[in-house]
A and B are shown apart, each in its own frame.
Chain A
Amino acid sequence: MSDDPVAELLQRVASQDRAAFRALYHLTASKLVAVLMRILANRAEVEDALQEVFVRVWQRAGQFQPDRGGGQAWLNTVARHHALDRLRARPVGEVRRHDPDDDPLARIADPAAGVEAGLVAQGEARRIVDCLQTLDPARGSAVRGAYLQGLSYQDLATRHGLPLNTVRTWLRRGLQQLRECMER
Chain B
Amino acid sequence: MNDPLVPPEDDDLLAAEYVLGVLPLTERRAAAHRAEVDGAFAARVWAWEARFAPMQAETVEGRAPDLLPAIEARLFSVRTRRWRLWGAGAAVAASVALAVLMWPAPSVQARLEAGALVFEAQGDGRFLTVARMGPTAGSANDYQLWAIGADGVPRSLGLLRGDTLRLEAALEPGITLAVSLEPLGGSPGALPTGPVLAAAVLE
A residues engaging B (CB < 8 A)? Answer: 18, 22, 25, 29-35, 37-38, 44, 47-48, 50-52, 54-55, 58, 68-69, 73, 76-77, 80-81, 84-85, 87-89, 92, 114, 118-121, 124-125, 127-129, 143-144, 146-148, 150-154, 156, 163-165, 168-169, 171-172, 175-176, 178-179, 182
Contacts and interface: CB of A to CB of B under 8 A. Distances in A.
Interface string B12-28: 11001100111111001
B190 interface: yes
B134 interface: no
A52 B53 contact: no
A73 B23 contact: no
Contact of A118 (B5, B58, B191): B58
Given A69-B50, A92-B1, A168-B6, A119 B21 contact: no
B138 interface: no
Nearest to B25: A88
B152 A52 contact: yes
Interface of B: 1, 3, 5-6, 10, 12-13, 16-17, 20-25, 28, 32, 46, 49-65, 67-68, 70-72, 74-76, 152-153, 189-192
Contacts of A163: 3
A152 B21 contact: yes
A154 B24 contact: yes
A147 B74 contact: no
A122 B20 CA distance: 22
B191 A55 contact: no
A125 B28 contact: no
